[in-house]
Amino acid sequence: MAGISPKYRQYILGAIFAAMVLYYVGGIVFEQAIQAPLQAVRQRTAQLRANIERRRKELQAAREALQWLAYWQSQALPPNRELAQSLYQAWLVQLCDEAKLTDRAITTGSPRSPGGQFQVLSFSLRARAGLKEIVDFLFGFYRTDLLHQIRTITLTPLGDGTKFDVTLTIEAAMLPDAYRNPADPEEVYREFSARTWRTSNRVASARLEDYHEAIVGRNLFRLNPLPDPLDYTFLTSITEAQGQREAWFFVRASDTLLRLKKGEVLEVGQFRAQIREILDSEVLIEADEQFWLLSLGESISQATALPPEF
């Protein structure tokens, strides 16, 4: 730079300064005039795409809702409450007859309106049946293509557990526009009857025999008979103190030890026997005018009956 005149040097510095200013100002202009609008367009495009996707999902959900509504309407009861109660109760009676439920009683409750868009009728069913009949009823209920459900079911075993008191709470829905001509009872009856013959997809198997094998074949509700306490009452020892012998009986069911002398009464459950003799290793007892000989280590049920002439 030694040979360059000061004036020329000023020109060079000025040109460099002008280039720097132009670069800085050009960046600002590019940022404001091109890049910022482009970014805004990109954001707007992304927002429009998100809106389109949201509307597409809403439209798809609306289509699915309409399909579900049409499906539910094909299963629902007619919107006339009295007619719906009469038709459904008659169908329940028929189902009870087919499943052979006895002593049935069906009552209707007050309808309710969840959300105000439809009405739900409630029914209470009480009957008596065995496990097979209950399975038959439930299979027929869930196999029928109606908009109904069992809210509660209570089974109370009777006797040995082969029969039950059955109590069910059932709900069935009424929907508007569910029938072509709801003002014509005969047409509603025909359409309702046709619906009860349709088969739903709510059962895992279409064969009733599969449920008989899985449930009825192993009745978990049947009460096991109580063990005979005589099977678990043993003569465990014969002792002697002060010239008197004692027979010791261990009652396993109650974890108790009975120490009895000659003439005393042995009581186990409903069994009563008098101690007639206490021998070295055996005890002679009398129950219901029958003599029995019981050896050490045996249970009462293992005692040997002695002949009448004894």
Q: Are 269 and 229 in contact, with CB atoms under 8 Å apart?
A: yes
The DSSP 8-state label assigned to residue 5 in this structure reads -
Q: Does residue 123 carry a pLDDT above 80?
A: yes
Per-residue model confidence (pLDDT) at position 219: 61
The residues spanned by each domain of the chain are 8-73, 81-218, 229-305
Between residues 293 and 205, which one has the greater pLDDT?
A: 293
Per-residue model confidence (pLDDT) at position 266: 93
Q: How far is CA 88 from CA 82, 123, 125, 174, 193, in A?
A: 10, 9, 12, 11, 10
Confidence of residue 3 (pLDDT cuts 50, 70, 90): low
Read off the pLDDT of each residue in 202-217 and give the average, rounded to a whole number. 83
The DSSP 8-state label assigned to residue 90 in this structure reads H
Q: How far is CA 253 from CA 207, 226, 231, 270, 295, in A?
A: 45, 11, 10, 14, 20
Q: Does residue 1 carry a pLDDT above 60?
A: no
Task: State which amino acid sits at residue 151.
Answer: R
Q: Are 170 and 150 in contact, with CB atoms under 8 Å apart?
A: yes
Same fold, 81-218 and 229-305: no
| CATH class of segment(s) 81-218 | alpha beta
Q: Does residue 25 carry a pLDDT above 70?
A: no
Could you tell me what percent of the chain has a pLDDT over 90? 35
pLDDT tens track for 276-295: 999 999 999 999 889 999 99
Q: Does residue 306 carry a pLDDT above 70?
A: yes
Bridge partners of 144, per DSSP, are 199
Confidence of residue 15 (pLDDT cuts 50, 70, 90): low
Read off the pLDDT of each residue in 55-61 and give the average, rounded to a whole number. 77
Q: Does residue 107 carry a pLDDT above 80?
A: yes
Confidence of residue 17 (pLDDT cuts 50, 70, 90): low
Q: What is the pTM of this model?
A: 0.55
pLDDT tens track for 214-271: 888 666 666 666 678 899 999 999 998 888 899 999 998 888 999 999 999 999 988 9
Read off the pLDDT of each residue in 299-309 and give the average, rounded to a whole number. 86
Q: How far apart are CA 150 and CA 243, in angstroms?
A: 73
Per-residue model confidence (pLDDT) at position 28: 61
Per-residue model confidence (pLDDT) at position 127: 95
Contacts 24+ apart (CB under 8 A), 188-193: 188/78, 188/80, 188/83, 188/87, 189/87, 192/77, 192/78, 192/87, 192/91
Fold for the domain defined by 229-305? SH3 type barrels. (2.30.30)
Per-residue model confidence (pLDDT) at position 21: 61
Total residue length of the chain: 310
Q: Does residue 2 carry a pLDDT above 60?
A: no
Per-residue model confidence (pLDDT) at position 51: 80
Confidence of residue 203 (pLDDT cuts 50, 70, 90): confident
Mean residue pLDDT of the chain comes to 82
Per-residue model confidence (pLDDT) at position 98: 92
